[in-house]
Amino acid sequence: MVPASSIAAALWSGPGLLAGWHVALAFTALLLVRSFTTYWLHRLFHVWKWLWRIHKVHHADTVIDCTTALRNHPFEALATTALAAATVVLLGPTPVIVAAVEAVLLVANFWQHAAIRLPDGLARRTEWLLITPRLHILHHARTRPDHDSNFGDIVSLWDRMFGTFNPPRTETVAAGLCDEDAGAHSLPHQLASPFRT
């Protein structure tokens, strides 16, 4: 949960493209770039066979709540932190800005997996920009077209721009991976799952 690699990358790399920017602009730029790169990495995890075998540990959860945000294979965590560190090295923000962006991303990750329901009116007004739990639950649906949508972590902008936006529904969404759910709640099974044929 502590973004040590990103902050270490900021300390190591020193000033970069964001050097001299106003703090608010540098924060916004880093947040948007991190969100954009995470969106594409997330899509790759669904497209490439080996990456999907790692990522399906996250999707095997049948009850979506805040704990789902922490349910990732260690290999996925390595890929995600490596991309985050590379982005920080490229842009060169200050460690304080990196820590602030990482805090927002962490809260957003818990938020989108939260087992809560916003009032419909509030959800409609926010979903044109933000990923809400009812948008993200579709990403955890058992049906492949649904779980290959709504990849965004904070904003729904990337999904809307690149054709992966899936509008919310009123019916209950069944989460998990159908026949792949066997052993979903066993840590050894999940750690070994990328190596199973």
171 or 104, higher pLDDT: 104
Mean pLDDT of 152-173: 91
Residue type, 156: S
- DSSP helix/strand/coil, 54: helix
For 33-71, b/e burial (b = at least 16 CB within 10 A) is bbbbbbbebbbebbeeeebebbbbbbbbbeebeeebbeb
Looking at residues 81-99, what average pLDDT do you find?
94
Show me where the domains of the chain are located.
4-195
- pLDDT tens digit sequence for 19-46: 889 999 999 999 999 999 999 999 999 9
Asked whether residue 178 carries a pLDDT value surpassing 80, the answer given is no
177, 189 Cβ separation under 8 angstroms = no
More confident residue, 181 or 29: 29
**How distant is the alpha carbon of residue 95 from its chain centre?**
21
The pLDDT tens digits of the residues spanning 102-114 come to 999 999 999 999 9
For the whole prediction, is pTM greater than 0.75? yes
Answer whether residue 186 shows pLDDT above 70.
Answer: yes
Tell me the per-residue pLDDT of 123-152, one tens digit each, with 9 for 90 and over: 888 998 999 999 999 999 998 889 999 999
Residue 1: the pLDDT is 47
Q: Quick one: angle between helices 74-91 and 49-59, nearest 10?
A: 110
Which of these ranges, 11-20, 137-146, 158-167, has the smallest mean pLDDT?
A: 11-20
Mean pLDDT along residues 79-96:
93
Confidence grade of residue 157 (pLDDT, cut at 50, 70, 90): very high
